[in-house]
Chains A and B, each alone.
Chain A
Amino acid sequence: MSRTRLGLSGWIAVTVLTLLVAMAIFAPLITQHDPNTGDLLATHAGPSAAHWLGTDGTGRDNFSRLVYGARTSLLGPTLIIALSLLVGVPLSLLSAWRGGSVAFVINRVFDVLFSIPGLLLGILMVATFGAGLRSAVVALAIAYLPYVGRLSSAAAERERRLPYVQALSVQGHGATRINIRHMLPNLAPLLAGQATVAFAYALLDLAALSFLGLAVQPPQADWGVLVNDHDAIYQGHPIGVVSAAVMIVATVLSLFVLGSKISGEER
């Protein structure tokens, strides 16, 4: 596999994402304040040395909530994409390998899932199983199946027709071995690019569900929850909301740039 050229924008994206992950992991070292306990004598305080981004309506430190919010905001989409890859990739390899009626059924399933917007599926899941991160993650993992699956089954089908696969098959290697040891590594760059972009959309959909009060529940800090602080907006103290907005936009933009670099298109 040739090394992917990242370029300037790619390196900026990697740096931003690395910093965000570090922030999520080392949250307790970065900020001294507890994200969930507020000082009721200092509500809606402006930025100061003690509170870099001021405090919210119940006196909680905005910066701490932003830093701790990175944890749920990044963990959720990671679970969503991991789940949909875990189910979607085997399905698409199976579809490409067996073809015929198996491929037909799998592709129809992808079509139907594709026809239900992820946000709506999330809302329906929440209606069924109750609000919370778990329902939202499962719903979005299902919703993202076709995004991962459609592209990879098309690619797997092209890969399957290549001479090396037939050669391995003639040599008597089993289908499972050829798929896992040979086809999967060759499809990996494409899948990585697709997964990176899908991660960005999953982050947006999950944050939107949290915004609607259906996924991550307040007082837990999450960027989607933080953006929804209408109280702060109406009272003219939008600094917490704006900083959460900046985090979301920076993360998604970095993921888009990185995803297109990995799959090798111009951005």
Chain B
Amino acid sequence: MSRYLLRRLVGVAVTLLVASMVVYLSVFLAPGSPEQVLFGSRPPSPEVQAQVRHAMGLDQNVFVRYFDWLGNVLTGNLGTSLINQQPVTSLLGHPATVTLSLVAYAALLILVVGFGSGLLAALRPGWVDTTVTAVTSVATAVPAFVASGLLISLFAVRLGWFPAYGLADGFGGWVRGLTLPAVALAVISSGMLSRVMRASARQELASEHVVTARMRGIGSARMVRSHVVRNAAGPVVTVAGLQVAGLVAGAVVVEQAFGLSGLGQLLITSVEQKDFPVVQAVALIVVAAFVLLNLAADLIVAALDPRVRAAVSG
């Protein structure tokens, strides 16, 4: 297990390193240099421009700049915003809280609805199964930006149950404000997780150990818990991890639709304003969250299932 862990950690570190290079260099390729953003429409004399370039370190080789940036990132310094001259880290606090709350809320919905409906469909063949399968099949084709529009239209504009835009103060305000965005974000992933859970649980229900347990007269609640769910968990946790990791990127769309001032909205505004240090920082955070959540899912699978553990440490 520890060898597996080590190998995975090294792999993740290498992936993140290369991804950080992609993130940094992709912005470097942009036409027009970052200091042009500062000058706006009235560029100063060439001497002043050269001074500014020097002060910002822009006259150095791009690889020197990349390693400078990377060194700063590793020590917790994400640079300075070109637009308002504040440290990027100080701009991230509130947006990160919003995005984290949104993603956590959506993840909770996905896990509860996905696991629950998939297991229900597997345990109740017949019309329950047919209904759940039909609904979840359609759900896998309803992306967050489509769900957002429909939810706002029905629950915010028509019925007025939830706000269509932004977050009110206090815990209650946040929960109310985040409910529709979280549902919009959760639809497609809940559908996918439910389908995987159903397939996986059905396979376990038909397996010999479950049939034997049934014959030994083990109660159905205990059997479902310790024989079906536990063994079906492997593929389900992998898919759940992938889906939840994807939420971090998906949040960009939902935040834009519901006017939430999260990381995604910060990213889009910074792209529009060409505030490159902020773009790089947010992009790096999103990639890191995506990679680390996937790693977490793989480790949970290994921890849950001794067979996987044996296979990976072998």
Contact = CB atoms under 8 A, between A and B. Distances in A.
Interface in B5-24: 11, 14-16, 18-19, 22-23
Contacts of B164: 233-234
B141 A227 contact: no
Contacts of A256: 137, 140-141
Contact of B143 (A108, A204, A242, A267): A204
A124 B153 contact: no
A123 B15 contact: no
A120 B29 contact: no
Given A115-B290, A116-B22, A123 B149 contact: no
B253 A115 contact: no
Given A212-B252, A224-B145, A242 B153 contact: yes
Contacts of B22: 112, 116
A266 to B, nearest CB: 9
A245 B158 CA distance: 18
Contacts of A248: 141, 143, 146
Interface stretch (A24-32, A35-43, A126-134): A126-134
B138 interface: yes
A208 interface: yes
A102 interface: no
A128 B27 contact: yes
B116 interface: no
Interface in B290-312: 290-291, 294
A55 to B, nearest CB: 17
B281 interface: no
Given A127-B30, A236-B158, A228 B19 contact: no
Nearest to B199: A266
A228 B249 contact: no
B138 A253 contact: yes
A249 interface: yes
B253 A128 contact: no
Contacts of B279: 124, 127
Given A112-B19, A126-B271, A211-B253, A245 B149 contact: yes
Contacts of B138: 249, 253
Nearest to B153: A238
B53 interface: no
Interface in B126-162: 137-138, 140-146, 149-150, 152-153, 157-158
A112 B15 CA distance: 6
Contacts of A214: 268, 271
Contacts, number: 133
Contacts of B149: 227-228, 230, 233, 238, 241-242, 245
Contacts of A94: none
A24 B204 CA distance: 45
Contacts of A116: 19, 22-23, 287, 290
A208 B253 CA distance: 7
Residue of B138, B141, B271, B279 contacting most chain A CB atoms (<10 Å) = B141
Nearest to B21: A112
A117 B286 contact: yes
Contacts of B253: 119, 208, 211-212
A195 interface: no
B252 A242 contact: no
Contact of B141 (A119, A126, A238, A249): A249
B106 interface: no
A123 B267 contact: yes
A124 B23 contact: yes
B152 A117 contact: no
Contact of B145 (A123, A129, A207): A207
Given A124-B23, A207-B143, A245-B146, A129 B287 contact: no
Nearest to B26: A124
A211 B157 CA distance: 20
Contacts of A208: 143-145, 253
Contacts of B65: none
A111 interface: yes
A252 interface: yes
A117 B290 CA distance: 8
A125 interface: yes
A233 B153 contact: yes
Contacts of B182: none
B74 to A, nearest CB: 18
Interface of B: 11, 14-16, 18-19, 22-23, 26-27, 29-31, 137-138, 140-146, 149-150, 152-153, 157-158, 164, 246, 248-250, 252-253, 256-257, 267-268, 271, 274, 276, 279, 283, 286-287, 290-291, 294
Given A111-B15, A116-B287, 5 more contacts: A117-B287, A119-B252, A124-B23, A250-B141, A253-B138
Interface of A: 108, 111-112, 115-120, 123-129, 200, 204, 207-208, 211-212, 214, 224, 227-228, 230, 233-234, 236, 238, 241-242, 245, 248-250, 252-253, 256, 267
Closest 9 CB pairs of A and B: A117-B249, A252-B141, A253-B141, A238-B153, A127-B271, A211-B145, A128-B30, A245-B146, A112-B18
16 contacts: A112-B22, A115-B16, A115-B19, A116-B22, A119-B252, A120-B287, A125-B26, A200-B141, A208-B144, A212-B252, A228-B257, A234-B152, A238-B149, A242-B150, A253-B140, A256-B141
